[in-house]
Chain A
């Protein structure tokens, strides 16, 4: 009976995912190319935040270095598509995912024996160590100039389906659709993982590691596995980043990226997949919001203040959210929902 229920829930999740995906894809048709490209960067960030959320929200470990894992995935994807120009996108993304997983395994190994601030500090050091390493990579990583990359173009059948001959608009549209599909796939896999035996084990390790050990779970193994899954997803996000940005360099993966991922995860809601989507959208549209703010309040756009306004607001929001509503936007939404249903 229980097994049946679980399977039922799983198929319910799949139905939800597919229908939401269909709606999102339908929306992309109405969007101009530039907005579609913003949507692409929103999905990339959402995928990466979802990976971080698994680690922090589910297994209770914190990473301040997820930008570093994204960098590993991005550069593996970049180098492969430069050196093997005909490689299928799926293979490139798969390699980026594997590379992220390997990096996560190495950095996550000490998590078998460390927790909390030590682990956070170590991942922070990783985030700081990766960009100079890329810059020192010489021809392999393109040095400080980075790698120029071509965006994948829309296939012929897609263009004829849209009835367009404009490669720019179709290309942006194609990227938006494929990234949405990847995001939906990742979220669907993660929501299944959350409900699985492994997902429950991770949450038990977070809530009460002594109890977890008593029921026979291996703490080190689960901690490292969580790290590997999380950084594999970050690697995938990095691969998507590389393929959709038209070029990557060390500058794209400074510690600021890691901090931004953390901030967006907390704002959206730690450990929730909805939070990851909210975080991704926030990141893609924050530049527009800041531009609106500066023009609305008459702030000189060339000043140091307006150049730093976005990061400043993110940081302030991060502190306030953590102090006042640590469960983020998604947490507020779900507690509101419980309140409403209870009243009824």
Chain B
């Protein structure tokens, strides 16, 4: 009885939806971190994260251990985030919104072509550090593999770490203070500019985690593998309200489930469109998102 339930189509879909949803949540969270610190929606988030993922994971070709390569990718993410904030994003603060959007879109396209030039646009496949064979239940495959479990644990772990850092450390307090009241924070001795750089570095590092877990999956490591996930991440972040980490988590899981169910029961071509429809409906109903406490129109 339990075996039939565990290997049923619906349960499989729900589990698969959660594993892809957690990746969407991570990307949404990484967007929220940058939005909260700089009021800038980073359209290059996905490609910046992939760039760092490439730098890290391709060291496996030179015989580096998989786990070390992952760590290298995250460190590369920190560097990519910090450098981009210093060089590209800083001149954009206080400029019209249009300029920031256009520049970050341009940067995203530029990075994609740079990645395709260096590493070729074709996907590279690396053996996952954990088995990707689905667990069996009563002789039937379920929707969960050890790798899927790993993905879920990593996603939840990163979220918990981010929440703890923001809430309970001095760095987290300074980060929040710089975002909320930069002038006051500066007067109280917080180095606001440094906090912005740290915020970006932190955010891209979170994005890289999403990039890593995706790249070990079925689609492999490719320059554009995170593109549609980034779009779903944006949708989740916007539904959650762009300033709420909890909203990012819940909306990410929701979008993951919806896209998986639509793909399986209707057609995978409708998956992205269905989330756009959800986004339009939610934003028409509550423009500030479902989880944002702000009632005024800040967008």
- Residues of chain A having any CB pair with chain B under 8 Å: 56, 60, 62, 64, 106-107, 109-110, 113-118, 120-122, 124-126, 128-130, 132-137, 255-256, 259, 262-263, 266, 270, 303-305, 307-309, 311-312, 314-316, 318-319, 322-323, 326
- Residues of chain B having any CB pair with chain A under 8 Å: 40-41, 43, 88, 91, 97-99, 101-103, 105-110, 112-114, 116-118, 120-121, 227-228, 231, 234-235, 238, 242, 267-273, 275-276, 279-280, 283-284, 287, 297, 299
User: For A318, what are the chain B residues with a Cβ–Cβ distance below 8 Å?
Assistant: 102-103, 105-106, 109
Assuming A122-B283, A312-B114, is B41 touching A323 (CB within 8 A)?
no
Q: Contact: B299 with A115, CB < 8 Å? A: yes
- What are the 5 tightest A-B residue pairs by CB atom distance, in nearest-first order? A136-B269, A117-B41, A318-B106, A315-B110, A308-B113
User: For B106, what are the chain A residues with a Cβ–Cβ distance below 8 Å?
Assistant: 263, 315-316, 318-319, 322
Q: How far is the CB of A301 from chain B (nearest CB, A)?
A: 14
Closest B residue by C-beta to A132: B269
Q: Contact: A311 with B269, CB < 8 Å? A: no
Closest B residue by C-beta to A107: B280
User: For A113, what are the chain B residues with a Cβ–Cβ distance below 8 Å?
Assistant: 283-284, 287, 297
Q: Contact: B117 with A305, CB < 8 Å? A: yes
Q: Contact: B105 with A132, CB < 8 Å? A: no
- Report the Cα distance A107→B98, complex, angstroms: 19
- Report the Cα distance A133→B275, complex, angstroms: 12
User: For B117, what are the chain A residues with a Cβ–Cβ distance below 8 Å?
Assistant: 303-305, 308, 312
Contact residues of B: prevailing secondary structure: helix
The one of A107, A115, A314 in contact with B109, judged by C-beta atoms closer than 8 angstroms, is A314
Assuming A122-B283, A125-B231, A322-B102, is B273 touching A132 (CB within 8 A)?
yes
Q: A121-B43, A125-B275 given. 10 additional CB < 8 A pairs?
A: A117-B97, A132-B273, A256-B109, A263-B106, A270-B98, A304-B120, A318-B109, A319-B110, A322-B99, A323-B103
User: For A315, what are the chain B residues with a Cβ–Cβ distance below 8 Å?
Assistant: 106-110, 113
User: For A122, what are the chain B residues with a Cβ–Cβ distance below 8 Å?
Assistant: 238, 276, 279-280, 283
- Report the Cα distance A312→B177, complex, angstroms: 38
Q: How far is the CB of B256 from chain A (nearest CB, A)?
A: 15
The one of B107, B269, B270, B284 in contact with A319, judged by C-beta atoms closer than 8 angstroms, is B107
- Report the Cα distance A220→B53, complex, angstroms: 42
Q: Contact: A116 with B101, CB < 8 Å? A: yes
Give 14 A-B contacts (CB < 8 Å), ordered by A residue.
A62-B97, A62-B102, A110-B283, A115-B97, A117-B101, A118-B283, A128-B231, A133-B270, A304-B118, A307-B116, A309-B113, A312-B114, A319-B110, A322-B99
User: For A120, what are the chain B residues with a Cβ–Cβ distance below 8 Å?
Assistant: 41, 43, 101
User: For A134, what are the chain B residues with a Cβ–Cβ distance below 8 Å?
Assistant: 269
Assuming A114-B283, A129-B273, A132-B273, is B231 touching A124 (CB within 8 A)?
yes
The one of B98, B228, B234, B273 in contact with A56, judged by C-beta atoms closer than 8 angstroms, is B98
Q: How far is the CB of A128 from chain B (nearest CB, A)?
A: 5
Q: Contact: B269 with A135, CB < 8 Å? A: yes
Q: Contact: B103 with A322, CB < 8 Å? A: yes
The one of B43, B97, B113, B287 in contact with A312, judged by C-beta atoms closer than 8 angstroms, is B113
- The interface centre, meaning the residue of A118, A133, A263 with most chain B CB atoms within 10 A of its CB, is A118
Q: Contact: A132 with B271, CB < 8 Å? A: yes
- Report the Cα distance A270→B99, complex, angstroms: 11
- Report the Cα distance A255→B270, complex, angstroms: 16
- Report the Cα distance A263→B121, complex, angstroms: 22
Q: Contact: B91 with A323, CB < 8 Å? A: yes
- Report the Cα distance A216→B116, complex, angstroms: 51
User: For B273, what are the chain A residues with a Cβ–Cβ distance below 8 Å?
Assistant: 129-130, 132-133
Q: Contact: A110 with B272, CB < 8 Å? A: no
Assuming A312-B114, A322-B103, is B267 touching A136 (CB within 8 A)?
yes
Q: How far is the CB of B150 from chain A (nearest CB, A)?
A: 28
The one of B41, B109, B284, B287 in contact with A121, judged by C-beta atoms closer than 8 angstroms, is B41
Assuming A117-B97, A263-B106, A318-B106, is B283 touching A125 (CB within 8 A)?
no
Q: How far is the CB of A167 from chain B (nearest CB, A)?
A: 38
Q: Contact: B272 with A128, CB < 8 Å? A: yes
Q: How far is the CB of B109 from chain A (nearest CB, A)?
A: 4
User: For A133, what are the chain B residues with a Cβ–Cβ distance below 8 Å?
Assistant: 269-270, 272-273
- Report the Cα distance A132→B276, complex, angstroms: 13
Q: Contact: B284 with A262, CB < 8 Å? A: no
User: For B238, what are the chain A residues with a Cβ–Cβ distance below 8 Å?
Assistant: 118, 121-122
User: For A316, what are the chain B residues with a Cβ–Cβ distance below 8 Å?
Assistant: 106, 110
Closest B residue by C-beta to A258: B105
